[in-house]
Amino acid sequence: MTNLILVIIGAIGVMIMGVPVAFAFALAGFILCGIYGIGITGAISTSFNRLNMYSLMALPLFIILGTLMDKGGLARRLVNLVNALIGRRKGGLGVVLIITNTVFGAICGVATSALAAIGGMLIPEMEKKGYPRGYSTGLAVSSSVLSLLIPPSTSMIIFGVAGRVSIPLLFVATIVPGLILTVLLCIINSIMIKQIPTIQILPKVSNSEKRREILQASKEAMFILFMPILILVGIYGGIFTPTEAASIAVIYVCIIGFFVYKDLTFKILWNSTIKAGTLTGSIVIVFFFFFVLSRVLVLEHAPDLMLNFLFKISNNHYVLLFLLNIILLITGMLMDDCSALILAAIIYLPAAEALGIDPIQFGAICGVNLGMGLITPPVAPLLYMGGIVGGNLELKEYYRPALYSILFAYIPVTILTTYIPAISLTLPKLVMHMYK
């Protein structure tokens, strides 16, 4: 056991030093296989076979969809529609940013694509209307996580594959937490904009002109709005699996992008596929090596070790749930969401189940908690990406809205999801009831 702990500490050490996460897991896995006499060749072939899952194929397809939405100009039409609906109020553009991220989440579920596409489009637009660039960047960063909570969600695909939990049920488990977050972010926006006097209110237009504007934007976004319906009705109507829904959505986006909107070119398709391949490859290699490592961890009863550690601190159910969240929070702060989700699904999930938490609820807790990790330093990929999307801003210029959203939106929603199981379990139960 001492060897195991030492090697894990070593792996975390080299990870912090800069060794790519996947390869730090690989080194730890290979060393532990050597120490405990487990055949490395066997561990590699088992891990490879675990990757050969039909459900995992949804991941690259949803990532391709996200990059196509971003690069193919489809997100622009979505922004125009939400803007026509609610953009004319004071602070309306902030709400447009949040709501568009939610709708974007219902289409593809890739936070980086949401931030690049919607943030990249709305931040300059908001600046023209008097929003400080730092404020809109911080808001874009905080709300881009919503894409990971509104189904289909790449996070839940990763958690479902790693923890062998139903992906369609995980998808619906994060809907309510995602919607509560949307409302809380809108409230934070409405409070914060009161302190920004530079924000302009767009001139009022007549009802008929507004109707015309909405009609025009709806007509343009009609084909995109059909996508979430296609995906969700397809999955929950029992027509497609999530993987099939993702492939249909990719082909659908290609058809409307090439032949209806005519914004998509072969070059965009090429670049989007390469970008998606790069992103998928970097996630799947973490999966692969963590599967190698987890073989040793499971054989050496690492989940039991963690459970014993938790029970040594307290026997109170509520305290244990709190501790589990703290561990998740620290994991999310030190790792990217993909690695943290794989770790949570393989190592923390058995401990959570032993504490009486439903795996679906734990998936939702991980979704919110580790989503928050994406904007919580030191390892906060979305937070740092926000600086680039916002136009090479320094962190001090845009951290404030992100910090407020962590304190007054993400932490409360994590607590609610943890202590009120109905928030994450009502919809999955309804879905299961439909198929009884």
Cα distances from 97 to residues 121, 219, 321, in angstroms, run 10, 20, 33
Instruction: Please select the residue that binds other proteins; options are 38, 179, 248, 411, rule is CB under 8 A.
Output: 248
CA dihedral 121, 102, 83, 276 (to 10 degrees): 30
Please tell me whether residue 142 binds other proteins under the rule CB under 8 A: no
Q: Determine the interface stretch with other proteins among 155-163, 197-205, 266-274, 367-375 (rule: CB under 8 A).
A: 266-274
Please tell me whether residue 378 binds other proteins under the rule CB under 8 A: yes
Q: How far is the CB of 195 from other proteins (least distance, A)?
A: 30
Instruction: Please select the residue that binds other proteins; options are 84, 114, 145, 250, rule is CB under 8 A.
Output: 250
Site string for other proteins, 338-377 (x = CB under 8 A): xx--------------------------------------
Please tell me whether residue 280 binds other proteins under the rule CB under 8 A: yes
Q: Determine the interface stretch with other proteins among 72-80, 142-150, 281-289, 317-325 (rule: CB under 8 A).
A: 281-289
SS3 (DSSP) at 24? helix
* Residue 23 or 258 having the CB closest to other proteins: 23
Please tell me whether residue 334 binds other proteins under the rule CB under 8 A: yes
* Residue 95 or 335 having the CB closest to other proteins: 335
Please tell me whether residue 279 binds other proteins under the rule CB under 8 A: yes
Which one, of 263, 227, 252, 291, lies nearest residue 47 by Cα?
291
Cβ-in-10-Å burial (0-12, 13-18, 19+) of 352 comes to: buried
Q: Determine the interface stretch with other proteins among 70-78, 174-182, 242-250, 423-431 (rule: CB under 8 A).
A: 242-250
* Residue 187 or 274 having the CB closest to other proteins: 274
Which one, of 226, 223, 231, lies nearest residue 172 by Cα?
231
Please tell me whether residue 273 binds other proteins under the rule CB under 8 A: yes
3-state SS of 216-275 is HHHHHHHHHHHHHHHHHHHHHCCCCCHHHHHHHHHHHHHHHHHHHCCCCCHHHHHHHHHH
DSSP states of 33-82 as a string? HHHHT--HHHHHHHHHHHH--TGGGHHHHHHHHHHHHHHTTHHHHHHHHH
Q: How far is the CB of 18 from other proteins (least distance, A)?
A: 4
Which one, of 77, 83, 79, lies nearest residue 118 by Cα?
79
Cα distances from 204 to residues 166, 172, 435, in angstroms, run 48, 38, 49
Q: How far is the CB of 285 from other proteins (least distance, A)?
A: 4
Residues touching other proteins, count (CB under 8 A): 55
Q: How far is the CB of 426 from other proteins (least distance, A)?
A: 30
Which residues 6+ apart lie within 8 Å of 246 measured at CB?
57, 58, 61, 62, 65, 152, 231
Residues 164-183 that bind other proteins (CB under 8 A): none
Q: Determine the interface stretch with other proteins among 11-19, 169-177, 403-411, 420-428 (rule: CB under 8 A).
A: 11-19
* Residue 221 or 284 having the CB closest to other proteins: 284
Please tell me whether residue 108 binds other proteins under the rule CB under 8 A: no
Please tell me whether residue 251 binds other proteins under the rule CB under 8 A: yes
Residues 284-303 that bind other proteins (CB under 8 A): 284-286, 289
Given a contact cutoff of 8 angstroms between Cβ atoms, the answer to whether 424 and 364 are in contact is: yes
Instruction: Please select the residue that binds other proteins; options are 5, 6, 9, 54, rule is CB under 8 A.
Output: 54
Cα distances from 35 to residues 30, 31, 39, 110, 289, in angstroms, run 9, 6, 10, 39, 17
For 130: left if phi > 0, alpha if psi spans -120 to 50, otherwise beta; the answer is: left
Please tell me whether residue 276 binds other proteins under the rule CB under 8 A: yes
Instruction: Please select the residue that binds other proteins; options are 60, 119, 134, 178, rule is CB under 8 A.
Output: 60
Instruction: Report the C-alpha gap between 72 and 80 in whole angstroms.
Output: 15
Report the interface residues with other proteins, using CB under 8 A: 14-23, 26-27, 30, 40-41, 44-45, 48, 51-52, 54, 57, 60-61, 64, 239-240, 243-244, 247-248, 250-251, 270, 273-274, 276-286, 289, 334-336, 338-339, 378-379
